[in-house]
Amino acid sequence: MTVAAPWVDDPFAEAVRSGRGPLWLRREDGRRQRLDIERWCAPAAGADFSLLLRCARLTAPVLDLGCGPGRLVAALLDLGVPVLGVDVTGAAVARTVDLGGPALCRSVFDRLPAEGRWGAALLADGNLGIGGDPDALLRRGAELIAPDGLLLVEVEPEEVDERVVVRVEGPDGRLGPAFPWARLGTTATLRRACLAGLVEAERWASHGRRFLALRKG
């Protein structure tokens, strides 16, 4: 019997193919968090450029973890930055490839090319929540980057540190399978980054979004 997979066998994959929502993460208590699928499927804009320009300063390739529909991959290529996207959703990988970007349909925790040699790894658009275990994800990010590389992380605007069980909900109310997710603000991310052997290199805010650059300590 095949078990349904989150982000694959749920409304997210359909939304990526169409480029439209609405789409939410629904918690077990019924509360919902809107997923910004239209922005993810549009060209890079606003705060994205603050992230992209930091990548453009590097001399080594960039790994976009949870690349989604590929807007950051495409924008980095336009800037002349070598980049690889990684995502578990086949529809997202296909859309990234259609934009001209290289991408692999894999989990962040699968074996990936050039481990330990990436100039930067990106965790944007809430992807610090992947797996609901930020400690494991930050350790994985540290494994992937070069000794002088950066892990560039988007954090929540508010100070929060929570792990929840959620489902992707589509516009018709259809729910995908349940899975663990996490949301962390700046303070919680830095505390957990320290446990992963990472320290703060920079923090910034742009267009209402907040980011951290982490390096190996």
The predicted structure's pLDDT at residue 9:
86
User: Quick one: pLDDT at residue 1?
Assistant: 55
Does domain 11-216 fall into CATH 3.40.50.150? yes
| Tens-digit pLDDT string for the chain (217 aa) | 567 888 998 999 999 999 999 999 999 999 999 999 999 999 999 999 999 999 999 888 999 999 999 999 999 999 999 999 999 999 999 999 999 999 999 999 999 999 999 999 999 999 999 999 999 999 999 999 999 999 999 999 999 999 999 999 999 999 999 999 999 999 999 999 999 999 999 999 999 999 999 999 9
Determine the pLDDT at residue 57: 92
- Residue 12 has a pLDDT of 95
> Residue 70: which of 28, 16, 110, 107 has the closest Cα?
16
